[in-house]
Amino acid sequence: MTQRFQHIAVLMGGTSAEREVSLSSGRECAKALRERYRVTEIDYSGDVAALVGVLTGPDAPEAVFNAMHGRHGEDGTVQGLLDLLHLPYSHSGVRASATAIDKAATRKLFELIGLRIPIGRVVTVAKAMTALPAPFVVKPVAEGSSVGVHIVREGDNRALPTDWSFGQEVLVEAYIPGRELTCAVIETADGTPQAYPSLEIRPRDAFYTYDSKYADGGSEHLVPAPIPAVIAREIQTAALVAHRALGCRGVSRSDFRYDDAVQPGAPAGRLYILETNTQPGMTPTSLMPEIAASAGIAFPALVAGLMEGARCDG
């Protein structure tokens, strides 16, 4: 691999609900990147002036590895700042980031390009519990890592948690029974996106919660997922279509529900795409490094590949 940069910054932290996940991702990536680069770690805590000072100061990095998650780090905000500073950065740019973090916008795009999505709608918090018949799922419109996700089943108390703090609009989707699958797309050195075998998640809890994602032993992962060949091909195709339609770069990870009940016209069951992540987690329990490792891509090579593909749109 040709090395373009000598000194890079790993940007992590942020002020979103995913701050701790980002710090964990950032530390892991910084450790791996030090095998090839001089690395400066930046824990962004909301002070934009201080961040710009580090990025443009006398020991400014040549490029940025973006390890931030959630609002400001994954929604196009920091990407726009780095474009203005003409600093190359890893992962997706402004357009893909801003669209993918907005679940409502992503649903509209997926529907437009013919990907199967669960029935759903965006409503006010006050109408969330009457928007669809149970079972259904209530999600914040712009959060990741299953933050704020609330499943309502028949007979459950029809009320959101009293500490709900994710805005006045929510996405309500029909609950899809079956299995939890995810598929990673990793771009090759020439920028060609390649979909890798899907991974099945079998969470310890009733669904794939924040704790299931990040607690040691919170879920069992099977890769490649033990699914019919026709579904394996469908999920890889859908992940590639989503990656390209959103305009992602570097990597993406699309999440799916697979209703494996045999139905008329769908003898292998039905696959539904839920969302696409432009900044997949890179923690010790995250899915992206595990998928890459199963394909023979070591973690240092994965993050170095993302770093060498860094660019800005400014």
The verdict on whether 214 is a catalytic residue reads: yes
State the catalytic residue, choosing from 66, 255, 272, 286: 255
Where would I find the beta strands (DSSP E) of the chain? Answer: 7-13, 38-44, 63-66, 120-124, 136-140, 150-152, 169-174, 179-187, 193-195, 199-203, 219-222, 251-259, 270-277
Name the active-site residue from 41, 75, 173, 275: 275
- 44 annotated active-site: no
Name the 3-class secondary structure at 274: strand
Catalytic residue among 214, 219, 250, 305: 214
- Residue 277 among the catalytic residues: yes
- Annotated catalytic residue, options 13, 18, 36, 180: 18
If you count them, how many residues does the chain have? 314
Annotated active-site residue in 107, 249, 253, 257: 253
Residue 61, amino acid:
P
**Which residue in 41, 277, 286, 305 is the catalytic one?**
277
Please say whether the beta carbons of 89 and 63 come within 8 A: yes
Give the helix ranges, DSSP H, for the chain: 19-33, 48-56, 77-84, 94-101, 103-112, 210-214, 229-246, 287-294, 299-308
Assess whether 200 carries a catalytic annotation: no
Catalytic residue among 22, 25, 66, 145: 145
Active site residue 18: yes
13, 76, 281, 309: the active-site residue? 281
Give catalytic status of residue 38 as yes or no.
no
Enumerate the active-site residues. Answer: 18, 145, 214, 253, 255, 275, 277, 281
